[in-house]
Amino acid sequence: MKLGEAIPIFRDYRKKLVDETRNLVKKRDAAQKNFEITGEQHFADEAASLQLSVEQTDEEFKKNQEILDSLAEQHCLAWNAEVARQVSDPETGYAATLGKILTTVARMCAGDKVPYSDEKKVLEYDSEMYARAKQAQMIMAALKEKQKEYDSLWDDEEETNKYDPQKAADEAEANIDISCIPDTDIDLSSEAVTSDLQL
């Protein structure tokens, strides 16, 4: 099972457990209050059985939370691994991007024409560096008889194939025991618990 599938299942189950605990506590408190008012033993028995249900639900919540914490940690590790992979990629990583930016600046300083998309990358990286390179480009272009014209250093594919650490983390396999996956059809309601106890 993938992390992107497992995490929502356990989060939904956690929400159900919280809602169920609240319902059980309200019913337990009501039963205790009825016992105090009437003194009838069946209200005390009902309050005791509801207390057991609250404790059972609380234990289930703690187990679920431990698994959810583990899944969140796995997701974070997968995310960080994808970011590290992208940064260190020789084709698209930080060093490659910086090299392309500096090459574009050198071409501009030589007075040559570079595509606007490349100039924009320099501007996004460092606006002051871009302003100085643009000034040098104008000065050198006035001194040159013929300007070289360059193609873009960035491929169009790079823009469309940007890395996505969220997707990579969601697609990573969850390292959990399949038996730990909650059966969301389990009825933890107090009616089901009290009917089980009365049998």
Tens of pLDDT, residues 14-25: 999 999 999 999
Q: Are 133 and 187 in contact (CB under 8 A)?
A: no
Q: Helices (H), strands (E): how many in the chain?
A: 8, 0
**pLDDT at 184 (0 to 100):** 57
| pLDDT one-digit tens code per residue, 148-169 | 899 988 876 555 456 677 888 8
Residues linked to residue 173 through DSSP beta bridges, in sequence order:
2
Instruction: Using a pLDDT cut of 70, give the percent of the chain over it.
Output: 84
Whether 68 maps to a domain, the answer reads: yes
CB-based contacts of 49, cutoff 8 Å, min separation 6: 193, 194, 197
**How many distinct structural domains can be found in the chain?**
2
Domain of residue 70: give its range.
Answer: 1-88
Closest C-alpha among 76, 82, 84, 81 to residue 7: 76
Label residue 30 by pLDDT band (50, 70, 90).
very high
Q: Check residue 115 and give left, alpha or beta (phi > 0: left; psi -120 to 50: alpha).
A: beta
Residue bearing the bigger pLDDT, 73 or 192: 73
Q: Does the pTM exceed 0.85? A: no
Same domain, 67 and 123: no
